Structure 1
Amino acid sequence: MSLIPIVSKAFCAPTQTALTIRKRPRVVNGGGFVVLNPQQNVVFSVHGCGILGVNGELVVKDGGGASILFIRKKGGLVQALSACSERWRGYLMEFGRPNKPLFSLRDPKSCFAMKSAIRISVDRKDYSNGWDFEVKGCFLEKNCTINDRRGNIVAKVGVKVKASEDLYHVNVQPGYDQAFVIGVIAVLDNIYGESTRC
């Protein structure tokens, strides 16, 4: 089995990993969400506007509280005239600062992309010049997958407890980068006005 790191090999497991996402209320710790492993230990946390104070900026931290990803919504030069250029970019955090660009995705609510798959590009030479991953299905209903370019499922998002809107699960396939998957979910959470949004 080969590892497919985007953030780091440290976040790639040799077996399928079942993660639970628990949204935090916006009034507690500024919202966002925590990601739990099957032993109910926090393995990631995502912080948005409630903590950072800036809309359109997210930070993903590992279980020890170290910042690993900084994600920012960036508009193009013509942003004032068109929402078509709004993109989210994820950066590796090094020495407490965003440094190396890792991935980007276009806001699906811009232009006419509402019903099409959300495509994600990885900023590395060993990846394609187009898109590398895509989100299929409906994130709002917690019924979607993240697939690679060949159509292989990287991660599946689903409802774990139907009675609770604050819990859902993500199954990440062996070898894929869990931090990258959580970064994509953090962007989707913000785009659709969930726990990381102001």
Structure 2
Amino acid sequence: MEQIVKKDSPAVYVVRRRPRVVGGGGIVVTESSTQKVVFKVEDDGCLNKKRSEVMLRDCDGKPLLLLRREKVIGDAVRMSREWKGYAFGYNEDSRKVVFRLKQPHSWLVRNGWCRPITVSAGQSDCCGGWDFQVKGFFKERACAIVDSMGNALAQVIGMEKMKKWVSNDIYSVAVRSEADSTFVFAIISLLDHIDRMSL
């Protein structure tokens, strides 16, 4: 797994999962040093039969990105599922696609044919190319988001499990200083959602 270079002085955040409730769940992201809330994520769970949605909000609750996966005919046999990240304009009705995330189908993962999760920036997915990739295993809280040059933007680090009660519901994310933390936590939100749905 790619390591973030120490001289970059990455910002470290703590992610805490909200309890899974009837309406879904989500995560809360805080700065490690100050415990100040930076992002809140709302996860609709599996309630919506036509689509899955995850909403990334700032500390005041203002929507930043809507992350959505439309459910289509043939989903069960597709090699991958696609999520779209929509940025909000001046009003909630004006949205534009800012990135696409391709999630390998769960049966590929179960059978050991694990293809990496890829992210392409912008509205189009040109010729199946990608701009970012998730390396490692989020389920084990040991993965990194890397760009196409192999540089790590962020790294997910599980909390040290010295006591049995420590779970994967709390983990750290180190984000490279020049990386866009909103984009990074949009991806982390989706990784957390995918992991939660697989439980």
Contact 2:144 2:154 in 1 (8 A): yes
Moved more, 81-90 or 168-177: 81-90
2:169 matched to 1:175? no
Rounded Cα–Cα distance in structure 2 between residues aligned with 1:122 and 1:112: 24
Residue 67 (structure 1) aligns with: 63
Q: Secondary structure at the match of 2:61?
A: coil
Q: CA deviation at 1:185?
A: 1.0
Residue 33 (structure 1) aligns with: 27
Q: Select the residue among 187, 193, 198 that pairs with 2:196.
A: 193
Moved more, 144-153 or 161-170: 161-170
Partner amino acid, structure 1, of 2:190: V
User: What does 1:73-112 align with in structure 2 at a 5 Å threshold?
Assistant: 73-75=69-71, 78-79=73-74, 82-84=77-79, 86-94=81-89, 95-97=91-93, 99-109=95-105, 112=108
Alignment gaps of 5+ in structure 1? 1-13
Rounded Cα–Cα distance in structure 1 between residues aligned with 2:76 and 2:194: 20
Q: What per-residue deviation string (whole Å, max 9, x for no partner) do you get for residues 50-78 of structure 1?
A: 6x9536100000111100000001245x5
Q: 1:64 to 1:84 in 2, by over 3 A?
A: same
Q: CA deviation at 1:34?
A: 0.2
Contact 1:91 1:98 in 2 (8 A): no
Structure with more of its chain in helix, by fraction: 2
Rounded Cα–Cα distance in structure 1 between residues aligned with 2:94 and 2:185: 17
Aligned length: 180
Runs of 4+ in structure 1 over 6 Å off = none
Q: Select the residue among 12, 18, 39 that pairs with 1:18.
A: 12
2:134 matched to 1:135? yes
Rounded Cα–Cα distance in structure 2 between residues aligned with 1:128 and 1:152: 21
Q: 1:86 to 1:40 in 2, by over 3 A?
A: same
Partner amino acid, structure 2, of 1:108: P
